[in-house]
Structure 1
């Protein structure tokens, strides 16, 4: 059984210490095979905030980390830094790779940098990024769970959040579904939910799910959703995966499971489909 923990929108600089300690305890107890950090790691891309985020990661057991920047991880007020070296702080703390990947026997996870220095909060995915991810998905092993990670959402559930949709989300979800993706993980709007993208009338070739995370640590909770994280479980020979939402419970000062979604995965004729889709 593989376990992936997705934390998002930590916004170091607005973190709450009891929540941080509870998250550290949860990760240590659950011992995931992969920790996904899906952007907005800091509040204002300051060196001290990146240092605090790095110190938190270093306080955990040696767990593989797949991280990518969010729009808050690019300087906002320092215009020169934003345009000339927008990822300098991120790279100093988390390395040069802005679109890392992780692969194991049971899992393939691909990060897509959807931030743009010329945009304030909006995210964007290019044709080149869409194709790069599709080509990599085509090389996945038959029993691997295939995850694509963005920062901005590929699906929203409330009309007022449509402005936050990832630019290019429709061609991305169509191509990635065709290429074999199972789930697209995101954050940005601090609202946790699961969407069946294949049921939304987009004409997708296969079942594919959007899995959104809330804010893991920040005091900037929204829409009545407390601090939360996602735990994704998958067994190699099981054609399902389970997405568990865990919320911070102020009474016990712990993260506790509150909802569970069982997602059916689609493997029908996929290798032949991918091989001919280019």
Structure 2
């Protein structure tokens, strides 16, 4: 069985130290095949926050891919946001939007953040044409028979959580990804875990969201997801700090 730990929204700067230490122990004890981090590593994209995040990810000693969250774009420095938004990611540059091949599972990145949007709340999701085409090309190149997991920060459509993503072009992107053979879209942003099925032209795509390891919890305590894969089937288990595991 292949096991992937799906973690999100750690928010260094507002991180829950005990939750991170708990997650680290689980990684070291259980040795998952990979870790998918779906964004918001930091709270305000400050250099010290990225430094702490980079040390944390490098200490896991398993294959890792990282998506960029809206909190990972410079918040106060608009020049940096528009012209050098990823400069502070240098310590973990090789992990950013890195496709992974893990024992019959292809993890394909999809960028859902934007430096600017024509609406007041730039924290919400956005799927651009270029980003989608890049992801579709990677998905279509996956060997036949392998599962395709798309990794993004924002849920492409709403999944019934208290927080929302309001991802522009998300539904059409989901339809296109389903057509390209995607089996699941893994995301974060809303700080509560979920696993819901979405039907697209007779095909089922699972929408899987991870909770948070920060102090910014919503309806659920700090958690991460464990995705268990056996052949062509998979299940998601939410692992809650201090409260055990719950199948989603």
What is the TM-score of this pair, normalised by structure 1?
0.82
Alpha-carbon contact 1:153-1:212 (below 8 Å) kept: yes
The match for 1:266 is: none
1:82 Cα deviation (Å)? 1.1
The match for 1:241 is: 234
CA offset digits 1:172-192 (Å, max 9, x no partner): 111111111000011111111
SS in 2 for 1:197: strand
Unaligned runs of 5+ in 1: 250-254, 262-278
1:126 Cα deviation (Å)? 1.7
1:115 Cα deviation (Å)? 1.1
SS in 1 for 2:115: coil
- Larger Cα-atom Rg: 1
Residues 72-221 of structure 1: matches in 2 within 5 Å?
72-90=71-89, 92-95=90-93, 98-119=96-117, 120-158=122-160, 161-162=163-164, 164-198=165-199, 203-215=200-212, 217-221=213-217
SS in 1 for 2:82: helix
Distance 1:22 1:99 in 2: 25
Distance 1:129 1:75 in 2: 20
Distance 2:160 2:103 in 1: 37
Alpha-carbon contact 1:66-1:100 (below 8 Å) kept: yes
The match for 2:244 is: 256
Alpha-carbon contact 1:155-1:197 (below 8 Å) kept: no
1:97 Cα deviation (Å)? 6.6
CA offset digits 1:210-254 (Å, max 9, x no partner): 001111x210101x2110101111123xx31011100011xxxxx
Q: How many residues align?
A: 244
Distance 2:11 2:172 in 1: 30
Distance 1:18 1:99 in 2: 27
Distance 1:122 1:53 in 2: 22
1:105 Cα deviation (Å)? 3.9
The match for 1:8 is: 8
Tell me the C-alpha RMSD between the 2 structures: 1.8
CA offset digits 1:17-65 (Å, max 9, x no partner): 21121111011112111111100000010111111111112222x2111
- Structure 1's consecutive aligned runs of 4 or more residues displaced over 3 angstroms after TM superposition are 157-162
